[in-house]
Amino acid sequence: MSNKRVHDAKNEILQELTRYQTQDFSFTSGHILGSMCTQPHPIAKEAYMKFLETNLGDPQLFPGTKTIEQKVLSFLLDLTHAPTTAAGHIVGGGTESNITSMWIAKVLTGKREIIIPESAHFSFQKIASLMDMKLSSIPLTTKFVMDITKVKQAITPETAAVVGIAGSTELGAIDPIPELSDLCREEHLFFHVDAAFGGFVIPFLKRLGYDVVDFDFHLPGVSSISIDAHKMGCAAIPLGALLLRKNMWLDAISVKSNCVSTEWQAGILGTRSGGPVAAAYAIIKYLGKEGYTNLVKQCMETTLYTEERIRQVGLEVMMEPTMNVIGIRLSHPRTIVEKLTKLGWKVNNLDRISSIRVVIMPHVTKPIIDKFIPDLQKVCQESGEL
């Protein structure tokens, strides 16, 4: 092909891609109010592009990228007060971490029952189906957290693991992790904490002096933690981690690996891009604990502002926000979501608890909320919610 034809073909493809891209919602518009992800920081984007060709499934080819992965894990292990025996595994996000953790619990115990809260993320449905495991779903208290007395009653000789959530998908609620940790310790049970969202929020809320429930390896009964950098970590998608109290638990999910330059490979995926890992490292290093603390402070201030504005128009919130997630009680949440979508706002429908969810991520600012509230009020009035 001549240079001109190559140039034209490239332009045509890029234009086609742009046409599709313009159909997407964007975080920069500020109109995405229901996602737990946000726009990756510019430094994360740049780092991602730099490591596009790397493959962490074959780490001996990319020892430098492997070092970056270890540095990301070191930060996360330090953030969660992990002991020196601990290890981590980088994954694509909360779903993969939860699957990997339950895979480990199943292999270690040889058992198949998992005790989860009613508010557990739907990844646990996938786990049950994929690994032929049975879910025992525990009702919540009026504070939308796991009822510990019901957890005790649900334990059977077949229990492989108990799961608590530190920052529920629906409302950002934190289960009684310290009590669950004590219980699991007494009963010698594997205890997984799903902090996919809260893992990058709770440590910084603590630094800001908020009274927030402990969730990490500080508690001796906590066996593993899911934590996602592509949510409040402001890294690029996909980047999560499964953190394990004992590094030898990785052996439970390792297989002998032919045709790549390492002998054993742990986890679900084979080929894995180093791009998101480099992006996560860049933003972790750039922001540091101080930067994340400021980000969480900003999100919490906007959350409390939003809560107040919601109450002012006469709507009810599901619970006082523990983190930057707000549920708004409604009789017909689906209708409200549809009407808001027509006005260009993306919020989530929580049918299960008759509400809608707003997540105050870093791209959601007070001026955005000032535009959103009148639209919310209008659609609620039209639909008889107000």
Ligand X SMILES: Cc1ncc(COP(=O)(O)O)c(C=O)c1O
Residues that bind ligand X (CB under 6 A): 36, 93-95, 98, 121, 123, 165, 167, 169, 194, 196-197, 228, 240
Q: Are 29 and 39 in contact (CB under 8 A)?
A: no
Among candidates 90, 107, 106, which has minimal Cα distance to 269?
90
Question: How is the beta sheet containing 355-359 ordered, strand by strand?
Answer: 316-317, 325-329, 355-359, 348-350
Select 177 or 380, whichever has its Cβ closest to ligand X.
Answer: 177
Select 98 or 181, whichever has its Cβ closest to ligand X.
Answer: 98
Dist. CA 182–CA 168, nearest whole Å? 21
Q: Which residues are CB-neighbours of 287 under 8 A, at least 6 positions away?
A: 41, 234, 295
How far out from the chain centre does Cα 233 lie?
Answer: 9
Dist. CA 143–CA 157, nearest whole Å? 29
Q: Are 193 and 214 in contact (CB under 8 A)?
A: no
In order, the DSSP letters of 308-321 are: HHHHHTT-EESS--
Among candidates 284, 258, 255, which has minimal Cα distance to 267?
255
Q: Are 96 and 268 in contact (CB under 8 A)?
A: yes
Q: How far is the CB of 248 from ligand X (least distance, A)?
A: 25
Select 238 or 315, whichever has its Cβ closest to ligand X.
Answer: 238
Report angle CA 205, 211, 214 to the nearest 5 degrees.
Answer: 75
Q: How far is the CB of 49 from ligand X (least distance, A)?
A: 22
Q: Are 244 and 250 in contact (CB under 8 A)?
A: yes
Select 131 or 373, whichever has its Cβ closest to ligand X.
Answer: 131
Q: How far is the CB of 172 from ligand X (least distance, A)?
A: 9
Q: How far is the CB of 231 from ligand X (least distance, A)?
A: 7
Select 167 or 274, whichever has its Cβ closest to ligand X.
Answer: 167
DSSP state of 92: S
Phi and psi of 102, rounded to 5°? -70, -30
The upper half-sphere exposure of residue 7, i.e. CA atoms within 13 Å in the direction of its Cβ, equals 3
Tally of helices (H runs) and strands (E runs) in the chain: 11, 13
Select 243 or 315, whichever has its Cβ closest to ligand X.
Answer: 243
Select 100 or 181, whichever has its Cβ closest to ligand X.
Answer: 100
Dist. CA 48–CA 282, nearest whole Å? 9
Report angle CA 68, 70, 76 to the nearest 5 degrees.
Answer: 110
Select 239 or 369, whichever has its Cβ closest to ligand X.
Answer: 239
Select 35 or 383, whichever has its Cβ closest to ligand X.
Answer: 35
Residue type, 351: D
Select 346 or 371, whichever has its Cβ closest to ligand X.
Answer: 346
Dist. CA 88–CA 75, nearest whole Å? 10
